[in-house]
């Protein structure tokens, strides 16, 4: 007797559609080496959260302890007497230096590890090309943010973290506004989804929910990765729903419609706006902690040559503290995102009415997300519901909303 035959028999004895049996049927599709590979990749990411912070903190401590930060500030002050420009030049050089010195670590985490697990479609040269674009953007935008941020510290020395929260939140919102139109096209090509039955069905789902569907964009994400994905991005006039070409190539129509229903949920529920506001609270917590800890660190380490927190040479102090506090707040940040994803899942099931397509997509995503984590593990490390959680939600929805729902052996469209 096969696993599926046994599950169907158990469901028949239970009388009708069995949510748990149907869930187990889908989970059984990812077993053996494929399941072990997925678990290994995702669990390795737990350690990367810690090691990324350790590497960052070690780097910033190094440039403080060697006096490099203070010497760079002195050099900038010899170039110009304008304080805002000193901050700008210092930040541009720090951005370049940190990117170059941390390149080996970034190459491992973002490229070679992805290649190791069969998730990357890029050569190292292509990855470097995208990284150079990101660095160029950082050299432009990081100094702008730093100049505003340090101006706030100088003018509100006691409560700068409050105003600073507003500044960083404004930059976050501005980034969400301009990224879809001006930033993302630097890395990928975006085209209109071609006309056809699949687009017509997506448009029909959108119209039924009162969602404008004049434009549905497809990105050529396959040039970088094998991951399937879709997203809603932007604010106000730049809000758009995009799916990547991997989703079209690697999944069936029911899966595509299910994913687009989920993304429409983000749009209707206003998650971009809500996430900006919720992350403003996270930013406030981080800056408050920095405002209390940074002056003490600076006072206890006069050899660093940092005058005070308003000195641009204090940037490594602020950044190392942000890295450390950020690790502690990882469960909070993940829970905020997971809340939005869970709400979009529920909306998408109602909108698309494709519970099996939704379950199959959850399995696809589990190629690189652990399928069945423990309860605490999911809360701490998952910024999306786990595959098991999503599949069970889909099967419960099927039982509750599909008249005469029957046990059907799950099958996946073969992924190239």
In a domain, 67, yes or no: yes
pLDDT in tens, 15-38: 578 999 999 999 999 999 999 999
Contact present, 155 and 212 (Cβ < 8 Å):
no
Angle formed by the axes of helices 330-352 and 253-268, to 10°? 120
User: Which pLDDT value is given to residue 13?
Assistant: 47
Angle formed by the axes of helices 271-300 and 160-178, to 10°? 140
In a domain, 193, yes or no: no
> Percent of the chain beyond pLDDT 70?
95
Tell me the C-alpha distance between 101 and 63, whole Å: 11
84 to 65, 97, 389: CA distances (angstroms): 25, 20, 50
**How many domains, the chain?**
1
In a domain, 311, yes or no: yes
**H helix runs in 194-270, sequence order:** 197-208, 245-250, 253-268
CA 260 to chain CA centroid, nearest Å: 18
User: Which pLDDT value is given to residue 15?
Assistant: 53
In a domain, 165, yes or no: yes
- Which pairing describes strands 240-244 and 217-219: parallel, antiparallel, or unpaired? parallel
Say whether pLDDT at 1 is over 70.
Answer: no
Tell me the C-alpha distance between 279 and 184, whole Å: 21
User: Which pLDDT value is given to residue 169?
Assistant: 95
Tell me the C-alpha distance between 46 and 42, whole Å: 7
pLDDT in tens, 369-391: 999 999 999 999 999 999 999 99
Residue 39 belongs to what H/E stretch? Answer: helix 32-65
User: Which pLDDT value is given to residue 405?
Assistant: 84
User: Which pLDDT value is given to residue 104?
Assistant: 97
Q: pTM of the prediction? A: 0.90
In a domain, 163, yes or no: yes
User: Which pLDDT value is given to residue 233?
Assistant: 76
- 194-220 burial, b for 16+ CB within 10 Å, e for fewer? eeeebbebbbebbeebebebeebbbbe
| Mean pLDDT across 108-137 | 96
Domain span at residue 74 reads 56-187+272-333
Tell me the C-alpha distance between 334 and 331, whole Å: 5
In a domain, 82, yes or no: yes
In a domain, 364, yes or no: no
| Mean pLDDT across 188-192 | 93
Taking every pair of Cα atoms in the chain, the longest distance, rounded to a whole number of angstroms, is: 83
User: Which pLDDT value is given to residue 2?
Assistant: 52
pLDDT in tens, 312-322: 999 999 999 99
pLDDT in tens, 249-298: 999 999 999 999 999 999 889 888 899 999 999 999 999 999 999 999 99
* 3-class secondary-structure state, position 156: coil
In a domain, 211, yes or no: no
* Residue 384 token pair: 């999306």
Say whether pLDDT at 3 is over 90.
Answer: no
Averaged confidence pLDDT in the chain: 91
Sheet with 230-233: list strands edge to edge: 190-192, 217-219, 240-244, 230-233
Residues 6+ apart with CB under 8 A from 44: 113
* 3-class secondary-structure state, position 188: coil
| Mean pLDDT across 197-210 | 90
């Amino acid at each position: 007797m096969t696993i599926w035959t046994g599950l169907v028999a158990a469901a028949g004895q239970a009388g009708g559609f069995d949510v748990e049996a149907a869930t187990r049927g889908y989970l059984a599709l990812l077993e053996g080496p494929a399941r072990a590979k997925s678990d290994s990749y995702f669990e390795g990411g737990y350690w990367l959260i810690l090691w990324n912070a350790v590497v960052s903190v070690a780097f910033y401590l190094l440039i403080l302890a060697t006096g490099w930060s203070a010497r760079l500030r002195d050099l900038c002050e010899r170039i110009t007497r304008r304080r805002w420009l000193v901050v700008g030049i210092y930040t541009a050089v720090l951005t370049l230096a940190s990117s170059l010195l941390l390149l080996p670590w970034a190459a491992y985490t973002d490229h070679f590890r992805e290649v190791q697990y069969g998730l990357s479609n890029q050569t190292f040269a292509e990855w470097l090309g995208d990284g150079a674009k990101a660095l160029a953007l950082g050299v432009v935008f990081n100094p702008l943010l730093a100049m505003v941020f340090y101006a706030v510290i100088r003018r509100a020395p006691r409560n700068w973290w409050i105003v600073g929260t507003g500044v960083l939140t404004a930059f976050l919102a501005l980034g969400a506004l301009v990224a879809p139109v001006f930033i993302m096209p630097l890395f990928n090509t975006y085209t209109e989804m071609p006309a056809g039955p699949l687009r017509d069905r997506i448009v029909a789902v959108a119209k039924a929910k009162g969602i404008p569907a004049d434009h549905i964009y497809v990105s050529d994400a396959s040039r970088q990765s094998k991951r399937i994905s879709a997203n809603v991005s932007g604010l106000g006039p730049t809000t758009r729903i995009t799916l990547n070409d991997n989703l079209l190539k690697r999944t069936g129509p029911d899966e595509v419609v299910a994913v687009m229903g989920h993304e429409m949920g983000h749009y209707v529920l206003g998650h971009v706006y809500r996430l900006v506001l919720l992350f403003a609270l996270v930013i406030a917590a981080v800056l408050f902690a920095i405002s209390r800890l940074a002056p003490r660190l600076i006072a206890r380490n006069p050899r660093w040559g940092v005058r005070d927190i308003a000195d641009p040479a204090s940037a490594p102090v602020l950044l190392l503290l942000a890295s450390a506090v950020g690790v502690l707040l990882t469960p909070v940040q993940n829970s905020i995102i997971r809340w939005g994803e869970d709400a979009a899942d529920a909306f998408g099931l109602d909108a698309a009415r494709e519970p099996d397509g939704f379950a199959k997509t959850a399995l696809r995503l589990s190629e690189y997300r652990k399928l069945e984590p423990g309860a605490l593990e999911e809360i701490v490390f998952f910024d999306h519901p786990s595959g098991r959680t999503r599949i069970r939600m889909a099967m419960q929805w099927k039982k509750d909303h599909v008249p005469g729902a029957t046990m059907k052996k799950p099958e996946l469209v073969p992924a190239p």
